[in-house]
Structure 1
Amino acid sequence: MNEKTENAFAAGVKNYFKQNYGILIALGAMWVIFTIFGNNFLTGNNMLNLLRTCATNCFLAIGVQMAIILAGIDLTGGALAALTGVICVSAFEIWNMPMWLGIGIGIALGVLIGFANGWIVAYTGIHPFVVTLAMQSICRGAAYLIANGSPVTTVNRRFQAIGSGSLNGIIPYPIIYMTIFLVIDFFILNKTRFGRHIYAVGGNETAARFSGIDVNKVKILVWTISGAMAGFCGIVLAARLSGGQPSTGEGYETDAIAASVLGGTSFFGGTGTVGGLFIGVLIIGTISNGLNLMHVNSYWQYVLKGVIIIVAVYVDMLKKQRQNKVA
């Protein structure tokens, strides 16, 4: 690594901490509290378990963040994950297809639903909240119908390993998937024309159209990516749970939204970073993990996450108002 590269790397690290010092302090404070009052929080096994749990949220949060950067939203994630898990396991356990084909069908279904969300948003003008809320209901209902209201179980160990296996018996595969997708997400948002177009459309859609950006294409691609990530999430969840469960993934979209806004993604559009998203995912995962270790009623987690979203959005509004005054 030459001196120029080292200086660029150091500047990047410094800028990262400068941008995210607030939520990094909050994350550190949580770890201290849970280490003191929790049971074996700061141990190697629990840290791996924490990251494994975070991975599921991260898959959805990557797509949700892109939608929020566009000043939109995607509420389909949890229900779509349930549907793809049910379809995937049904394919090779009930319909006698090869396992790899079942996995492919599951992910393809995620892509198709995401594309449908994007197309409807782009060409009908219906708000993304309404479109994805309706699609959430459709996906959840379809999952229950296909599974006949019961889990579709599997004892296929090769499939189970996708969600429960680990590299050399140390690093769980979901953590590896999460790392790969975060790197790809960073590359897309920061190093490609498509990524620049996402920020441009989210910042000012009218200006983006006048500058020659195909806004409809950007919207369709973003929600397609979000659907693909939900589909992959459903496969990993089904593998980890040894079956497709139509009830799985309930509330997952809330966690993904919370992680995004905590990480600095603005609901007004045009703002959001992958580094901030990862910290947001860690905070949401830490809350669930730490409270469970402290034997706190799990219902309090829903309350706390709701409060976090309200506070984060309010802070974002104050920032936006301050910027408008300065401008």
Structure 2
Amino acid sequence: MNDSASPLTAERQAASAPRSRARRIAQLLLQGDRPYALYIAFAVLLVVFSFASPWFLSIDNFLNIGRQTALVSIIAIGMTFVIIARQIDLSVGSSLALSGMSAALAMAYIGDHWLIGAVAGIGTGALVGAINGLVTTRLNIPSFLVTLGSLSAARGLALLVTTTKPVIITNDSFISIFGEGDIAGVPVPIIWTVLAVIAGILLLHYSVFGRQVYAAGGNPTAARYSGIDIRRVTTLAFILTGVLAGLAALVLSARSHAARPDVVQGLELDVIASVTLGGCSLFGGRGFVLGTLLGSLIIGTLNNGLVLLGVSSSLQLVIKGIIIVAAVAFTKK
């Protein structure tokens, strides 16, 4: 009897495995309170702009959107962890500028090798993130104030180290790996974005650290009684955001062939908008990586479509602001 039941049980388990994987994928895609609203909003934008502009629906334009949104998307993955942990990081734009300067200066004065620049850039971003996390958690100062201070300090340091002058990058490998190369026709900024998204999904949704981030932001008191070191988890979330800001700095510097201390001022606003538009709660405990990516793509598609339609930059800001507020209001709990 046992011998006949065993193969039957194995067959049932094998048949249920694809359904189980499909359910996990569906759960990943449909997190949040009204996840369908994000997909509907994105689809509506695609339809509207495809009718409004004959150049919108083209592979080249979609690749252009991917390149344009790469910086925001990469950093927003890290910001998702910070906001889920009930914190905020206003320093990511300045951290990016300082990280780019560090990478360029390292290749100029230490060794003209792309790996030296990569380590210097990402290391600088991680250091800024660590300072933000440690000051926030150890001195018990609100992260809004801490990162507001580091926003100014990091930008000022980036301006100071080169007396406001750009640093030219001539390393062809660095430029190809992070900025102008491609894999099977896909530009490397998009490749780095995809890798950041995959890493973010695995870390947030399939690791102990990810569950601790949700717990720290959702119910800090219960998390503390459960033995979770909230200060450690929060600090690591800030470090992760700094690392991704450093990666974004490498992408921008490679595309520009130079590092400038005055770049991407106000980038943090687009990053935070992408995360909140993607379903992340500013009160912590809620959010998912694919939602953040979709939020970034919605903003990028909106910018791209308005440019193709010839809308003035000032009116673009007004339209984008209204749509973001309306979308967040519709998707909020």
Q: Report if TM-score (shorter chain) is over 0.5.
A: yes
Q: Is the 8 A contact 1:76 1:253 kept in 2?
A: yes
Q: Is the 8 A contact 2:37 2:331 kept in 1?
A: no
CA drift of 1:143 comes to 1.2
Q: Does 1:149 align with 2:164?
A: yes
Q: Does 1:7 align with 2:19?
A: yes
Choose the corresponding residue for 2:173, options 158, 167, 192: 158
**Percentage of identical aligned residues:** 37
| CA 196–135 in structure 1, closer or farther in 2 if over 3 Å, else same | same
Matches within 5 A, 1:200-215: 200-215=215-230
CA drift of 1:156 comes to 2.5
Residue matched to 2:190: 175
Residue matched to 1:98: 112
Letter in 2 for 1:97: G
Residue matched to 2:4: none
Q: Does 1:230 align with 2:245?
A: yes
CA drift of 1:153 comes to 1.7
Structure 2-normalised TM-score? 0.89
CA deviations over 1:177-229 (Å, ceiling 9, x no partner): 11111111111111111111100010011111111110110011000001111
Q: Is the 8 A contact 1:54 1:282 kept in 2?
A: yes
Cα distance in structure 2, aligned partners of 1:40 and 1:82: 33
Residue matched to 1:47: 62
SS of 1:101's equivalent in the other structure is helix
CA drift of 1:307 comes to 3.5
Q: Is the 8 A contact 2:122 2:243 kept in 1?
A: yes
CA deviations over 1:27-69 (Å, ceiling 9, x no partner): 1111111112224111011111111222211111011111110
Q: Is the 8 A contact 1:258 1:305 kept in 2?
A: no
Residue matched to 1:296: 311
| CA 312–119 in structure 1, closer or farther in 2 if over 3 Å, else same | farther
Matches within 5 A, 1:166-315: 166-168=182-184, 170-311=185-326, 314-315=329-330
SS of 1:126's equivalent in the other structure is coil
SS of 1:266's equivalent in the other structure is coil
Residue matched to 1:25: 40
Cα distance in structure 1, aligned partners of 2:164 and 2:54: 37
CA deviations over 1:147-166 (Å, ceiling 9, x no partner): 22122122332221121110
Number of equivalences:
316
Cα distance in structure 1, aligned partners of 2:312 and 2:260: 24
Cα distance in structure 2, aligned partners of 1:306 and 1:132: 23
Q: Is the 8 A contact 2:79 2:275 kept in 1?
A: yes
Structure 1's unaligned 5+ residue stretches are: 320-327
Structure 2's unaligned 5+ residue stretches are: 1-12
Cα distance in structure 1, aligned partners of 2:329 and 2:234: 26
CA drift of 1:316 comes to 6.3
